């Protein structure tokens, strides 16, 4: 072999080794290799992020925007600002959008009245855009004002990287020049992390959202000339083509800019997960990538009881009590501490006491909260949370195990005398 050939061979071998190393690193750093521009997987109980890819980048979110519209409608229902049986007529704007059958729509009529329930179901099941605009107008008087409410609520919920320009998630160019905010070709933007946070908040505050989100199909205005079958765009509902065990929500979305998006939630036994996929390549891809995320979560994480109810930390089994019949009282967990953890990592969690007070003053009631017990993770993975209170959700109350009555007058005097002589003895010892 000539010298030049030998160098060429060594160069080729080196190149292959580098390529192999980079490939291995890529697979290790992103074991799921999600085929989407952004994705995230979250534990719904704590907001702990189990997987993320490009999750902070604001992207077009298409009809996933309607999760925020749903939030505002459900909030108004719960505040009795509107009711499900309230009726509304349809504006020219909502009517014109509803007649565009190239978009998701149930055709609405100007001379008809529709209940809030009818319009909400059309939005949540069929992603009907005209119905969404009609709801926005009912709640805020105009879509322009509703968009202001959307942006204010998003900020209140803790979202950070977002811009809402309409209630539907459509591109403004599809709104006949009547778009409420933004430029003529603007779309709603949010990061995968913010979209997951929005899903988390609506599940926490209005879990009834799933009552409609989980309906696989329903007829809009049955037994009328306007009857139209609404098939849920969430094809991962168990009854549909990409059916997945436990999925009961939440919202798909697609536009030319957004690609194919999906915010999903699934529950199996005591575990509920939230996933978001943004800008995948096709209808099928968004469901296949969602399946990857959920499979990863359900297969690799489990809810495990780390500490039972009544557990006392050996280093802090009790607290001192002033002016009581006894001078100490036991403290223990009020209920079990159960967390979603990676399988096999239970030994990486250490119980840690966080006290609200260093001592109590009698009278003390049994079950009085004195702090919290948290499980501090000491393993190799750095877990993030969607919300600042995420770690607090992974804790349980520490409470007193007994009642301590206030001491009588004579006992209090004796306690003070003992305390004085104890202090005096310490001072004398300090002299030698």
Q: Which residues are annotated as a binding site?
A: 251
Cβ 110 vs Cβ 89: under 8 Å: yes
Residue 391: partners with Cβ closer than 8 Å, 6 or more residues away: 46, 374, 385
By residue count, the chain amounts to 432
Give, as one character, the DSSP assignment of residue 121.
H
**Catalytic position from the list 46, 63, 91, 191:** 63
Give me the phi and psi of 201, to 5 degrees please. Answer: -65, -40
Give dist(CA 286, CA 281) in Å, integer.
Answer: 7
DSSP labels for 356-372?
Answer: S-S-EES-B-TT-EEEE
Residue for token digits 């998630």?
A: 169
Residue 335 bears catalytic tag: no
Q: Could you tell me the end-to-end alpha-carbon distance of the chain, in angstroms, rounded to an integer?
A: 88
Residue 33: partners with Cβ closer than 8 Å, 6 or more residues away: 26, 27
Residue 66 bears catalytic tag: yes
Known binding residues for substrate are 251
**Catalytic position from the list 65, 104, 127, 395:** 127
Burial of 210 (0-12, 13-18, 19+ CB in 10 A): middle
Strands 318-322, 360-361: parallel, antiparallel or unpaired by DSSP?
parallel
Count the Cβ atoms, other than its own, within 10 Å of residue 241: 10
Cβ 249 vs Cβ 213: under 8 Å: yes
| Positive/negative CA dihedral, 244, 37, 251, 208 | positive
Residue 257: partners with Cβ closer than 8 Å, 6 or more residues away: 60, 171, 187
Count the Cβ atoms, other than its own, within 10 Å of residue 362: 18
Closest to 246 (Cα-Cα) out of 200, 291, 280: 291
Closest to 361 (Cα-Cα) out of 370, 371, 374: 370
Cβ 188 vs Cβ 180: under 8 Å: no
Residue 127 bears catalytic tag: yes
**Catalytic position from the list 46, 53, 65, 66:** 66
Residue 61: partners with Cβ closer than 8 Å, 6 or more residues away: 169, 187, 188, 189, 190, 195, 253, 258, 261, 278
Which residues are part of the catalytic machinery?
63, 66, 127
């Amino acid at each position: 072999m000539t010298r030049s050939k030998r160098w060429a061979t060594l160069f080729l071998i080196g190149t292959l080794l580098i390529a192999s190393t980079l490939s291995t690193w890529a697979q290790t750093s992103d074991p799921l290799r999600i085929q989407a521009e952004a994705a995230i997987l979250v534990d719904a109980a704590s907001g702990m992020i189990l997987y993320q890819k490009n999750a902070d980048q604001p992207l077009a979110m298409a009809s996933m925007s309607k999760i925020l519209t749903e939030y505002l409608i459900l909030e108004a229902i719960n505040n009795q600002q509107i009711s499900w049986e309230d009726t509304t007529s349809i504006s020219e704007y909502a009517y014109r959008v509803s007649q565009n059958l190239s978009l998701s729509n149930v055709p609405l009529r100007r001379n008809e009245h529709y209940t809030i329930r009818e319009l909400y179901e059309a939005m949540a099941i069929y992603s009907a855009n005209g119905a969404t605009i009609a709801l926005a107008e009912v709640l805020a008087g105009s879509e322009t004002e509703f968009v202001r409410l959307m942006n204010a609520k998003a900020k209140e919920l803790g979202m950070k990287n977002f811009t809402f320009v309409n209630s539907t998630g459509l591109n403004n160019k599809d709104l006949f020049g009547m778009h409420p905010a933004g430029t003529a070709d603007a779309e709603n933007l949010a990061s995968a992390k913010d979209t997951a946070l929005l899903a988390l908040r609506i599940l926490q505050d209005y879990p009834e959202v799933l009552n409609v989100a989980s309906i696989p199909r329903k007829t809009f205005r049955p037994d009328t000339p306007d009857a139209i079958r609404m098939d849920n765009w969430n094809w991962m509902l168990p009854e549909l083509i990409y059916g997945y065990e436990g999925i009961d929500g939440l919202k798909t979305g697609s536009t030319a800019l957004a690609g194919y998006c999906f915010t999903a939630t699934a529950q199996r036994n005591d575990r509920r997960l939230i996933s978001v996929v943004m800008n995948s390549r096709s209808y099928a891809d968004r469901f296949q990538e969602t399946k990857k995320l959920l499979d990863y979560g359900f297969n690799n994480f489990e809810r495990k009881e780390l500490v039972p109810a009544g557990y006392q930390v050996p280093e802090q089994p009790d607290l001192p009590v002033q002016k009581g019949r006894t001078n100490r009282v036991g403290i223990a967990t009020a209920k079990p501490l159960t967390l979603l953890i990676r399988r096999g990592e239970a030994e990486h969690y250490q119980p840690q006491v966080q006290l609200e007070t260093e001592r109590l003053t009698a009278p003390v009631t049994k079950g009085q909260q004195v702090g919290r017990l948290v499980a501090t993770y000491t393993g190799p993975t750095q877990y993030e949370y969607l919300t600042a209170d995420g770690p607090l959700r992974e804790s349980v109350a520490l409470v007193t195990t007994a009642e301590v009555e206030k001491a009588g007058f004579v006992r209090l005097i004796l306690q003070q005398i003992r305390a004085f002589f104890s202090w005096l003895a310490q001072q004398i010892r300090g002299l030698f």
